A and B are shown apart, each in its own frame.
Chain A
């Protein structure tokens, strides 16, 4: 891991996501626009940030350039934030020293007919991320005890199957069913497709 320095050392990666982002956003232009921002040490566009070669490249950059915070401008953090957190963690960077600019779900896909507008917005979103990462602090996850038990709500075929799989794997299960018996709608059905056998 890079030595903690006062000045942030930021790596920015603008992902094409194949053509998903690149079709409406000029990714290399975005990467070039932000390369001179304060603290930005590396700024690149990358075909697939989440792919193995993509991740490898970013990890190598972190090691080679002593990067201490990363901006990934790609898809929604709801999709790949954990992927990239694990990635930077694997080279010794605190996983919270990351921000994602959402250039796919909230930019390229929703401004498909406005390439100039989408590219401009992408630049702003990446810049916003850069200013956010400047203020990031390393954080540590806490571990807490856990109750190794599952509540299954509903005793139809799905609830029954889930409860049995869990119980057979050694976990205690409480199965809650609002009617007087388990079975659900399935129990009402005699022969079931495609095997034409009994459901119970």
Chain B
């Protein structure tokens, strides 16, 4: 930890959050908000004189509220940076009449109430997202009495208590009376592997963490009775099974079954009712203390950052990797990587392994000192351009400039163009070619698909990043859907030109689907807003000329929504079945007259 603070190549910004990310691989521009610390990081020696005089006492977050700290404090003894900080919301203020005692005692004059939040711009080539986790809050699991009974605590609270630097200096005591407990119980999978409360997934860590805790208890207090209530013990890693066996040998009892209820008995002890799966009998266990082995949830900032950077999340709320086996640390966006619990629950060893992998993947991108960009960009056909300015309006990257006043043709900055193709789809004069996704290429696919038996087929457009990936995910999950669905891949749903859809209907397609990333998740900032508008526009036209608007559907499907993809395809098939041969013939007739 201290290495990070000292390394000449690492700029450490604490109390800081990323508020905006722009640009692309190799050249990201990041806006960071660094909140005021009110103590000069460089000159504070962490002598602690300030905290001694601070009159404000608050629960200490690091010790899970089991201890206290002041309004001016160091988060924990080994903190990096070691500098103290002031929580401005708790501080009484710097008015000498009110307090400012800390200012008076700080001999180095590090405390500065005039510090303000700072906005920092950083230019970087790659980004590693390592936003971590929050432990599951068991408040909602009232059957275990976490909020009602003093001697029911979470595994992290227990962790702080048995920690030598913790509030009890490592001494194991009951919170209610500070007596040493004679028996301690652990309930496993709290907030994990449950369809009802918490999450469905395994926390990956709570089995081993509990086993470790049984060790700590048995080492220091061999006479304390230790009981672990579990579904099954997942000691899958290297050296894990050995640790589990040793824990049993030391006398920890493992009881298969999760308690149904916990009640408080005399002297704040606990009575745990559990159906022992080994004996098939209902048992009652009397314990002095109970620890809830809490699960892991994604960090609260996950969703905000996902939106800022246009990343994808799994249904569990963790970041979605580009490929679960072959690119486990890459985001779908080039130049962004994941490490640690941001990508899914994992233990320290796996976090470290993944972090090193992410660092290596980032170096792999950067070591050449230059970056090659995909030539999938838009090109203006100057002769056809009427300088209307629509393309510049729709470009999410501001990559197109048009001199509307002097009627000069549009110009694309290909370095800034990310290749969504929205401009090409919106240009009414066919004056923009989208490289590698040209009109001719896509119309060729549409025509060929509908060459034979169009009435039996479903034409679907899918964006590369979300919907096409969602379709792949349906495949990986072996979710079955009708075999008449044919996907045409585009980089972004914004590329789906009106004429592709009309061409589909003209060639006899009974139904057409346009699918893309959810609004807010678009890989091209907000290009899918234009998709939405365009589809609404087409729906209106369809109504006008007597086509049932249901025959064109718009669906947002993320890369993790394989099930949604398969369900959508089944629904499309339902709609297709409702389209008669006469209706298709009439559509072809109507459209041929336009």
Asked if A156 contacts B360 (CB within 8 A), the reply is: no
Mark B415-430 against chain A: 1 for CB-CB distance below 8 A, else 0: 1000000000000000
A105: min CB distance to chain B, Å = 3
Mark A81-104 against chain B: 1 for CB-CB distance below 8 A, else 0: 000000000000000100000101
Asked if A178 contacts B475 (CB within 8 A), the reply is: no
Q: Is B122 an interface residue (CB 8 A)?
A: yes
Asked if B1 contacts A200 (CB within 8 A), the reply is: yes
Chain A interface residues toward B at CB < 8 A: 76-79, 96, 102, 104-107, 109-114, 117-118, 120-121, 124-125, 127-132, 134-137, 139-196, 199-200
Ordered by A's residue number, 27 sampled pairs between the chains whose C-beta atoms are within 8 Å are A109-B478, A110-B475, A111-B480, A111-B481, A121-B484, A127-B448, A131-B444, A135-B440, A135-B441, A148-B367, A149-B122, A149-B125, A149-B126, A150-B124, A150-B366, A152-B130, A159-B132, A161-B355, A166-B128, A170-B9, A175-B12, A177-B12, A177-B15, A178-B17, A181-B74, A188-B62, A190-B162
Contact A158 to B130, CB < 8 A, known contacts A164-B7, A180-B37, A180-B79: yes
- A106 to B78: give the CA distance in the assembly, Å: 52
> Which of the residues A105, A131, A152, A158 comes within 8 Å of B475, measured between beta carbons?
A105
Contacts of B166 in A (CB 8 A): 190
- A199 to B162: give the CA distance in the assembly, Å: 14
Asked if A182 contacts B1 (CB within 8 A), the reply is: yes
Contact A191 to B212, CB < 8 A, known contacts A104-B475, A156-B351, A181-B75: yes
Contacts of B267 in A (CB 8 A): none
Contacts of B566 in A (CB 8 A): 110
Of the stretches B180-188, B222-230, B334-342, the one at the interface is: B334-342
Contact A96 to B375, CB < 8 A, known contacts A152-B130, A165-B356, A183-B80: yes
> Which of the residues A127, A145, A177 comes within 8 Å of B16, measured between beta carbons?
A177
B509-545 residues with Cβ-Cβ distance < 8 A to A are none
- A177 to B414: give the CA distance in the assembly, Å: 34
Contacts of B30 in A (CB 8 A): 151, 174
Contacts of A128 in B (CB 8 A): 444-445, 448-449, 486, 488
Asked if A105 contacts B472 (CB within 8 A), the reply is: yes
Across the A-B interface, the 3 shortest Cβ-Cβ residue pairs: A158-B340, A105-B475, A117-B483
- A153 to B127: give the CA distance in the assembly, Å: 8
Contacts of A157 in B (CB 8 A): 340, 348, 351-352, 355
Of the stretches B232-240, B273-281, B576-584, the one at the interface is: B232-240
> Which of the residues A96, A148, A162, A199 comes within 8 Å of B436, measured between beta carbons?
A96
Asked if A151 contacts B441 (CB within 8 A), the reply is: no
- A134 to B438: give the CA distance in the assembly, Å: 12
B449: min CB distance to chain A, Å = 5
Contacts of B485 in A (CB 8 A): 121
- A172 to B4: give the CA distance in the assembly, Å: 12
Contact A132 to B240, CB < 8 A, known contacts A161-B356, A199-B348: no
Mark B84-126 against chain A: 1 for CB-CB distance below 8 A, else 0: 0100000000000000000000000000000000000011111
Asked if A150 contacts B340 (CB within 8 A), the reply is: no
Q: Is B564 an interface residue (CB 8 A)?
A: no
- A153 to B122: give the CA distance in the assembly, Å: 12
Chain B interface residues toward A at CB < 8 A: 1, 3-5, 7-18, 26-28, 30, 32, 37, 62, 64, 74-76, 78-81, 85, 122-133, 135, 156, 159-160, 162-166, 170, 208-209, 211-212, 215-216, 237-240, 242-243, 299, 301, 305, 322-323, 326, 339-342, 347-348, 351-352, 354-356, 358-360, 362-363, 365-376, 414-415, 435-436, 438, 440-442, 444-445, 447-449, 451, 457, 464, 468-469, 471-472, 474-476, 478-489, 566
Main secondary structure of the interface of A (DSSP, over half): mixed
> Which of the residues A109, A151, A191 comes within 8 Å of B124, measured between beta carbons?
A151
> Which of the residues A118, A135, A161 comes within 8 Å of B339, measured between beta carbons?
A161
**Most chain B beta-carbon contacts within 10 A, residue among A135, A170, A180, A200:** A180
Contact A193 to B212, CB < 8 A, known contacts A142-B414, A152-B128, A153-B127: yes
Residue of A at shortest CB range from B166?
A190
Contacts of A96 in B (CB 8 A): 375, 436
Residue of B at shortest CB range from A126?
B448
New A-B contacts (13) at CB < 8 Å, excluding given A147-B28, A150-B362? A96-B375, A105-B475, A105-B476, A110-B479, A117-B484, A147-B26, A149-B125, A152-B130, A153-B128, A160-B1, A178-B14, A178-B15, A188-B156
Asked if B480 contacts A110 (CB within 8 A), the reply is: yes
Contacts of B237 in A (CB 8 A): 194
> Which of the residues B132, B362, B370 comes within 8 Å of A143, measured between beta carbons?
B370
> Which of the residues B15, B352, B440, B468 comes within 8 Å of A180, measured between beta carbons?
B15
> Which of the residues B7, B301, B475, B489 comes within 8 Å of A109, measured between beta carbons?
B475
Asked if B122 contacts A151 (CB within 8 A), the reply is: yes
Contacts of B445 in A (CB 8 A): 128-129, 131-132
Asked if A166 contacts B359 (CB within 8 A), the reply is: yes
Contacts of B371 in A (CB 8 A): 143-146
Asked if B15 contacts A179 (CB within 8 A), the reply is: yes
B302: min CB distance to chain A, Å = 10
Asked if B243 contacts A193 (CB within 8 A), the reply is: yes
- A136 to B358: give the CA distance in the assembly, Å: 35
A11: min CB distance to chain B, Å = 18
A145: min CB distance to chain B, Å = 6
Asked if B363 contacts A166 (CB within 8 A), the reply is: yes
Asked if B13 contacts A177 (CB within 8 A), the reply is: yes
- A81 to B179: give the CA distance in the assembly, Å: 65
B380: min CB distance to chain A, Å = 16
Asked if B130 contacts A78 (CB within 8 A), the reply is: no
